[in-house]
Structure 1
Amino acid sequence: MKTKITEHSIRLFEQKGFTETSIQDIVDSIGATKGTFYYYFSSKEQLLMDIHLDYITKLLEKQAAIMAEDKPCKEKLHALVLMLLESIKTEKAKAIIFFREMKNLSGEKLELILQKREAFRLGFERLLREGIENGEFTAHLDANLASLAILGMVNWSYQWFNPGGRKSEAEVAEIFTDIVLHGIEKA
């Protein structure tokens, strides 16, 4: 039942937004009572936290696996960009909630998600620093700023990326990685 509540909530939060979705809306969508909701979740915010935590935890695990591979930094960067686009493709509703609804978390819940988001960003920064140190990336690269730029570019794609559109996630990842590695200036 907890999974069912979560799945229906994700759909409702995606469609209506977190603040516009009531607990009554959630329980009505599954034919349950508020008591059932409160058996599994202390609040609507706790449910939102669980959704955020599930999404970022999976991303961190996938990032760690990619970072552990014995490959050049350029290949790892491409794999990370592709992994993010694939997560937007396969878990688009969760991605929308993750990027759009964080403002509805507070206190310790918000702090935990912010820490995990920062850990994810730092993974990108570490990869860029490694690439600088081994000569794959330019020595004057600001790894902190570049990690923010890459994540901004890729994460914003939840707004427009259509997996059934004219470009697949693999093609978009290739274009993004090319922009990051080579820019847009004609050589």
Structure 2
Amino acid sequence: MIETALTLFERYGFHGVSVNQIVNECGTSKGGFYHHFASKDELLFVIHDYFISYALTKAQEAIDSNQLPTEKMQKIITSFLKVFDLYKPHISVFYQESIYLKPQYVKAIKEKRQSYKQIIFAVIKEGIQTGEFRPELPVEITGMSILGMVNWSYKWYKKDGDKSIEEIADIYVDLILNSLLTDQAKQEWRFKDYFLKNN
């Protein structure tokens, strides 16, 4: 049902698609639709929730399974990029149609996005405290720059492009860690694999 709705929303827009069209296209009933979703608005919220929940889960896994801030940041950036490969239709539809969401759904989305943002800020703070990241970098501006840089990928990333999502993630990791790490930390052998190699 979600995949059908995504296709229809991309083609006709949120207001250009009725619940009848969704259920007819995917071969279910209106009762089936309303068993899963209270409204079309809730369906749009769930479309967003798919990718933000994935990003939050992966970020938390990075925090829980790594000790060093640099390792945490590398895992977070990599999983963040993969969102655009796994959920590109969800993201495209959400950004096109999110203005139609009702206030309660907007509030829930903002809360999850705030949680993700705070994870990024916390890792930057930790990296500064441990001496891995440059102390002169303002935490919030740095965090928002990372989020903005990676988020914009949904505008240009294509599955059939010249580079895979993994290759793009490696480029982002190189760019971001080269900006974050102190000169001394860049020389540490345990971080060397995070930087692109000359062929």
Contact 1:55 1:98 (8 Å CA) reproduced? no
Give, in angstroms, the shift of residue 79 of structure 1: 1.5
> Quick one: which of 151, 165, 172 aligns to 1:169?
165
Q: Percent identity?
A: 33
CA distance in 1, matches of 2:80, 2:100: 23
Equivalences for 1:48-87 in 2 at 5 Å?
Answer: 48-87=44-83
The change in CA–CA distance for 1:100 and 1:82 in structure 2 (over 3 A counts) is: farther
> Quick one: which of 71, 89, 108 aligns to 2:85?
89
The higher radius of gyration belongs to: 2
Counterpart check, 1:29 vs 2:25: yes
CA distance in 2, matches of 1:141, 1:101: 35
Q: Deviations over 1:149-176 (max 9, x none)?
A: 1111111111111233211222211221
SS across alignment from 1:21? coil
Residue 62 of structure 1 aligns with an amino acid whose one-letter code is K
Give, in angstroms, the shift of residue 33 of structure 1: 4.0
Q: Deviations over 1:16-72 (max 9, x none)?
A: 332332223212212344344233322100111122223222221111001112243
- Which moved further from structure 2: 157-166 or 9-18? 9-18
> Quick one: which of 145, 154, 158 aligns to 1:158?
154
CA distance in 2, matches of 1:98, 1:84: 17
Contact 1:10 1:97 (8 Å CA) reproduced? yes
SS across alignment from 1:20? coil
Counterpart check, 1:14 vs 2:10: yes
Residue 4 of structure 2 aligns with an amino acid whose one-letter code is H
TM-score, structure 2 normalization: 0.81
Residue 92 of structure 1 aligns with an amino acid whose one-letter code is K
Contact 1:13 1:21 (8 Å CA) reproduced? yes
Residue 26 of structure 2 aligns with an amino acid whose one-letter code is I
Match of 1:112?
Answer: 108
Give, in angstroms, the shift of residue 121 of structure 1: 1.0
The change in CA–CA distance for 1:53 and 1:132 in structure 2 (over 3 A counts) is: same
Aligned CA RMSD, in angstroms, stands at: 2.0
TM-score, structure 1 normalization: 0.85
Contact 2:66 2:72 (8 Å CA) reproduced? no
Give, in angstroms, the shift of residue 116 of structure 1: 0.4
Q: What stretches of structure 2 of length at least 5 have no aligned partner?
A: 180-199
Contact 1:82 1:173 (8 Å CA) reproduced? yes
- Which moved further from structure 2: 157-166 or 111-120? 157-166
Counterpart check, 1:132 vs 2:132: no
Match of 2:119?
Answer: 123
CA distance in 2, matches of 1:150, 1:28: 42
Residue 165 of structure 1 aligns with an amino acid whose one-letter code is G
Residue 166 of structure 2 aligns with an amino acid whose one-letter code is A
Contact 2:69 2:124 (8 Å CA) reproduced? yes
